[in-house]
Amino acid sequence: MPQKRRSQSWTVLKQAGNECFRAGQYGEAVNLYSQSIQLLEKSGQKNKEDLGILHSNRAASYLKDGNCSECIKDCTTSLELVPFGFKALLRRASAYEALERYRQAYVDYKTVLQIDWNIPAAHDGVNRMTKALTDIDGPSWREKLPPIPTVPMSVKESLAQAASSAPSPQQNRTIDSKKKAPGPEAAKKAKALKEEGNAFVKKGEHKKAVEKYMQSLGQDPTEVTTYTNRALCYLSLKMYKEAISDCDEALRLDSANIKAFYRRAQANKELKNKKSAIEDLNSVLKIELNNTAAQKLLQEVQKMK
């Protein structure tokens, strides 16, 4: 490590670390990011966002170098500084997966999808973890999962705002309410898969329905009813946070979707989120004043302590 770098600013060291990372010099990148972190901390600025990025960058270097334990530590630190940073979540998920800590990896991959549904790596990760955990724990594998955090709407909105003001490359995309419409062939496959899911719902086989809806959304992520149908399945499976996530997605596509508001209210009721449930039910009644189901549920929620 040339001595002259030690007298440089943390930003210059960060840039040098980025260049080493791009060149595949991961050990050197770790050293440079470490120096940058030390300088930034000593400067007294302690900008949480900048420190979070540095720890996430160093985590990426550790991951490339095969040091998964240090990657996890850095990602966790980054997430403490900047909660729900999707890059840190993805990197930690990859490290957990490499260490065969599949439950933790699943949680991180699922959290990423709450932030941005359009990240293929997260979808692929969820599918791999689902298969691995089913093989290990059998049909009841979900019961052994750690809690999946709910990403606050404020976080999603701030990410969407940042994306609209500063477009980024595809791998860094954040939530976009205007999803790309599928081609005719994909739309046809999506419709067929959704209908298969609907058939499973009628039989009461909600887990199988969820799988079909997931496959359908992989073909067409713009179909609102697929999200609300899957949310209904998640409610039946008592997977309330997943139901909320699907309703959030449906409402981004259709801001006046009654089913999404109502089913999100049902999930919030079960999670004891009284205020959120009331807000959703009031939204339903603004759109459809005489919705008796919403009126009844609102009365039940208002009685909650």
Q: Structural domain boundaries of the chain? A: 9-82, 184-303
Same fold, 9-82 and 184-303: yes
When mean pLDDT is compared over 54-63, 141-150, 210-219, the highest value belongs to 54-63
Q: What pLDDT does 179 receive?
A: 53
pLDDT (0 to 100) of residue 270 = 94
Confidence of residue 172 (pLDDT cuts 50, 70, 90): very low
> Is residue 57 pLDDT above 60, yes or no?
yes
- CA separation for the pair 202, 209 (Å, rounded): 9
Provide the CATH topology of domain 184-303: 1.25.40
Question: Burial level of 148, CB count in 10 A (0-12/13-18/19+)?
Answer: middle
By the 8 A CB rule, do 118 and 210 touch? no
Extract the tokens encoding 48. Answer: 């949480």
Q: Is there a contact between 206 and 190 (Cβ–Cβ < 8 Å)?
A: no
Amino acid at 231: A
Of the pLDDT bands very low, low, confident and very high (cuts 50, 70, 90), residue 34 is very high
Note the pLDDT tens digit of each residue in 178-220.
455 667 888 889 999 999 999 999 999 999 999 999 998 888 8
pLDDT band at 47 (very low <50, low <70, confident <90, very high): confident
Give the residue carrying structure tokens 């470490």.
34
Answer whether residue 53 shows pLDDT above 80: yes
Expressed in angstroms, the distance from the first to the final Cα of the chain is 61
Cα–Cα distance for residue pair 97/281, rounded to 1 Å:
39
What is the band of 154 on the pLDDT scale with cuts at 50, 70, 90? confident
| CA 197 remoteness from chain centre | 23
Under CATH, which architecture does the 9-82 domain have?
A: Alpha Horseshoe (1.25)
Distances in Å between the Cα of 270 and the Cα atoms of 113, 235, 250, 260, 277 are 22, 9, 20, 16, 9
On the question of pLDDT at 115 being above 60, the answer is yes
The answer to whether 293 and 280 are in contact (CB under 8 A) is no
> What local confidence, expressed as pLDDT, does residue 46 receive?
65
CA distances in angstroms from 59 to 55, 70, 94, 109, 119, listed in the order given? 6, 7, 11, 16, 19
**What band does 72 get if pLDDT is binned at 50, 70 and 90?**
very high
pLDDT beyond 60 at 170:
no
Q: Which tokens belong to 69?
A: 């334990």
Task: Tell me which of 156 and 29 has the higher pLDDT.
Answer: 29
Is 83's pLDDT higher than 60?
yes
Q: Report the percent of the chain where pLDDT is more than 70.
A: 89
- Among all chains, which residue has been given the structure tokens 């770790």? 30
Contact 229, 235 (CB under 8 A): no
Using 50, 70 and 90 to split pLDDT, how confident is the model at 153? confident
Q: Which of the pair, 265 or 154, is modelled with greater confidence?
A: 265
Q: Are 66 and 34 in contact (CB under 8 A)?
A: no
Whether 81 shows a pLDDT value over 70: the answer reads yes
The rounded mean pLDDT for the chain is 86
Per-residue pLDDT at 7: 52
